Amino acid sequence: MSSKVIPNEIVQQLLIPSTATLTTALKDFGVTRSYMHRVTPLDPNMKMAGPAFTLRYVPAREDLNAGEVDNLRDVQRVGIEQIEAGEVLVIDARGDTRAGTMGDILATRIYKRGAAGVVTDGAFRDSPAIAETGLAAYAAAMNAHSNKTIHHPSEIQVPIACGEVAVLPGDVIVGDAEGVVVVPAQFAEDVGQIAVEMEEREAFLMRKIQGGANILGTYPPDERTLAEYERWKKER
């Protein structure tokens, strides 16, 4: 489990590039499995970045989920009251979308605690209402069934899987209109710098392509195009 504390300026820098650019930058560090499969935003205007606070579900079993919810013992409820401002709750639902992992009341509580977002490879219930809370929310599906019909909250702040990607507590979770990327904590600062530079260079290349330039020598850029890019940066 990562104990690295990510400074806020690094988190904010990771909000600048797209998730697509971040996946490319992560390849420089040997990380190729960073993009969550089938996990999408409830609203395409959502964007988020923050350290992961993890919650792991296991399959429900009648004796485990018996009785009324105890807010002092239920792992999900305990975790929600421990999330700190700026963190992203990441829920491992094993990709099972047959029930929601949480609804709008708990999502609102997370939002009021200052969380940057919530992500699951399962489903949300009350999804339209969650989308209106102001909390960035990403899921694989929507399902009106309550969580304990399928899921049992097992552990918080342990390594999990979400969208077929490993997530350690403290990894930086970045989401945009396309989806969610996991940036390992130890690479966050370098990946942010590389990705921002990459985003700026690709904006320049896009301008050339939009102006009618041939992809040969432009994408990827040859030495002449890179020199032109450096001049363009200085002029800006």
Residues 74 and 157 in one domain: yes
| 91 DSSP β-pair partners | 55, 120
Domain ranges, residue 213: 191-235
Residues 157 and 216 in one domain: no
Q: Rounded to an integer, what distance in angstroms lies between the CA atom of residue 149 and that of residue 151?
A: 6
Q: Report pLDDT digits (tens) over 138-189.
A: 999 999 999 999 999 999 999 999 999 999 999 999 999 999 999 999 999 9
Q: Report pLDDT digits (tens) over 15-68.
A: 999 999 999 999 999 999 999 999 999 999 999 999 999 999 999 999 998 777
Residues 126 and 65 in one domain: yes
Residues 47 and 63 in one domain: yes
Mean pLDDT of the chain: 96
Place of tokens 């320049």: 204
Residues 167 and 204 in one domain: no
Quote the pTM value: 0.95
Residues 198 and 117 in one domain: no
* Range 73-82 contact pairs with CB under 8 angstroms and sequence separation of 24 or more: 74/153, 75/153, 75/154, 75/155, 75/156, 76/102, 76/106, 76/147, 76/153, 77/106, 78/156, 79/53, 79/55, 79/153, 79/156, 79/157, 80/106, 80/109, 80/110, 80/113, 81/113, 82/53, 82/156
Quickly count: other Cβ atoms within 10 Å of residue 229's Cβ.
Answer: 17
Residues 124 and 201 in one domain: no
Residues 62 and 90 in one domain: yes
With a cut of 80, say whether residue 1 has pLDDT above it: no
